[in-house]
Amino acid sequence: MSDPDPVRLEVADGVGTIRLDRPPMNALDASMQDALLAAATQAGERRDVRAVVVHGGEKVFAAGADIKEMAGWSYTDMVDRSVALQAAFTAVARIPKPTVAAVTGYALGGGCELALACDLRFAAADAKLGQPEILLGLIPGAGGTQRLSRLVGPSRAKDLIYTGRMIDASEAFDIGLVDRVVADAAGVYAVAVEWAARFASGPAYALRAAKEAIDRGLSADLDTGLEIERQQFAGLFATEDRTIGMRSFMEDGPGKARFEGR
């Protein structure tokens, strides 16, 4: 029997799980990065996937890049590989659907950057997160300097990146790196799926528009962000779900619409 794919997309009831499966630590080597790009692209394109959970199993999310693989690379090797490295994480960030990372064990280096590429992060109480690249004489190279600083602010990001220290889920929650802490590591995935499942019958194009307006607006000035929002808002009047939602509101009150995702 062949080994399972190191990254695979599993789909059930409208929720897609991008599952990392490279024991023991889900080290993100080049093959994992390429597989992650493929899985994220597939999750974004499949109509039966309405929300996505990224999960590494009950023991570990991802402990970072494969240092043994990287140690022998030259400058030109990394110039060539760094484009693909960032592309894999950017593909996750650009999945046009709600995404959540279910973090257990370690989410370090590239693992933390993968969690940062998701919309939300739920973590086990004993999880450890961090960007320890400085301890290797490096800096984060898959979005850590950019996404972390946007999420928790530049001062906190600099503290974590300058020191390379690991933080527990409690501190991660306090600074806004983690959105929910789950007491039992075995329950993190279930909590993440429960959150994602609420969107399985949601207004897919409205959710997509909301994500794009927020993400694109954060990298623009306020006036540009408002224009992005205006265009997305107006465009939703072309969707069937907008008609269904407004009709349901007028006839039955809020929260009872049965959306069709079109």
Q: What are the catalytic residues?
A: 113, 133
Rounded CA separation 116/73 (Å)? 26
Check the CA dihedral 22-28-31-33 and report its sign: positive
Rounded CA separation 184/134 (Å)? 31
Burial class (CB in 10 A: 0-12, 13-18, 19+), 24: exposed
**Distance of alpha carbon 141 from the chain centroid:** 16
Look-up of token digits 């527990």:
168
User: Which of 65, 52, 53 lies closest to 25, judged by CA?
Assistant: 65
Rounded CA separation 198/107 (Å)? 26
**Strand arrangement of the beta sheet that strand 166-168 belongs to:** 106-108, 128-130, 166-168
Rounded CA separation 48/200 (Å)? 9
Burial class (CB in 10 A: 0-12, 13-18, 19+), 56: buried
